[in-house]
Amino acid sequence: MRKIITVMFLCAALVPVVSADAVDVIHFLITPSYNGESGFLYAPSAYVAPQNALTMGLHKFVFKANYGILNIVEAGLNFDFTSTSDVLAILKAGDLNIKARVLKEEDFFVSAAAGLEKLPLNLFQKINGQDFNGYVVISKKLDDMDASLGLKKNFAGVRQTSYLIADLSKVISDTILAVIEYDTGKFNAGIKISLNSNINVEFFIHDLAHIKDSQELGTFLRQDFIFGITYIQ
């Protein structure tokens, strides 16, 4: 546990050395989440990548890229480099995200979006995987904060269940987004740091309930600690 706390303090120690222009909360929420679509840590936001914008992310050797279409739709691909270096196998095991914004908060008080998460490219062989989800989500910007609430539905596998998703985020020190998240029954937390207008780095913990059980630093880093970098152009 002491080693885990030390890692968290080392991540926090990076904050004072960051020097960049102040950024808006939505800047962070249109770059890829761990699951691929633009959003928070694991859960999606109701915002989409701007028209013709390319956003990319790398978290734990999982690469994702999204492209904005007409300011209302984003579509993207995910590829997992964790288990193999066989390029053909990686491409065949890839999956697709697509999200469409249906409400814009400038006109309707809240933003709302619906989408698909991790739809297998190799549909006929992979459709029984546990990660294929659909979701609806609403988000509301409140000055330098954003609140989000939604529902995620698992479409494949044995447990075809629905999950509540919720996020609260706030920009601190102009360039850092702090996030607390509830996603598919787990609480996650982390920070996103804007290095410049294009690049963010991210540190977050998946499933806070595991911290008290993680006595070994290696186990914690392997299972629950995520480092990522995201890019928008």
The C-alpha atoms of residue 132 and residue 115 are separated, in whole angstroms, by 11
pLDDT tens for the chain, residues 1 to 233: 444 444 444 444 444 444 457 889 999 999 999 999 999 999 999 999 999 999 999 998 899 999 999 999 999 999 988 877 777 777 777 899 999 999 999 999 999 999 999 888 876 655 555 578 899 999 999 999 999 999 999 887 656 688 899 999 999 989 999 999 999 888 999 999 999 989 999 999 988 887 766 666 666 666 778 999 999 99
In this structure, the strands spanning 186-194 and 199-205 are antiparallel
CA 35 to chain centre: 6
| Cross-strand pairs, 136 | 114, 151
User: Please, are residues 169 and 163 in contact by the beta-carbon 8 Å criterion?
Assistant: no
Q: Which CATH architecture has domain 2-232?
A: Beta Barrel (2.40)
What b/e sequence results for 71-98 when a residue is b if at least 16 CB atoms lie within 10 Å of its CB, and e otherwise?
Answer: eebbbbbbbbeeeeeeeeebeebbbbbb
Residue with tokens 């609430």: 149
Count, residues in the chain: 233
CA distance 127 to 124: 6
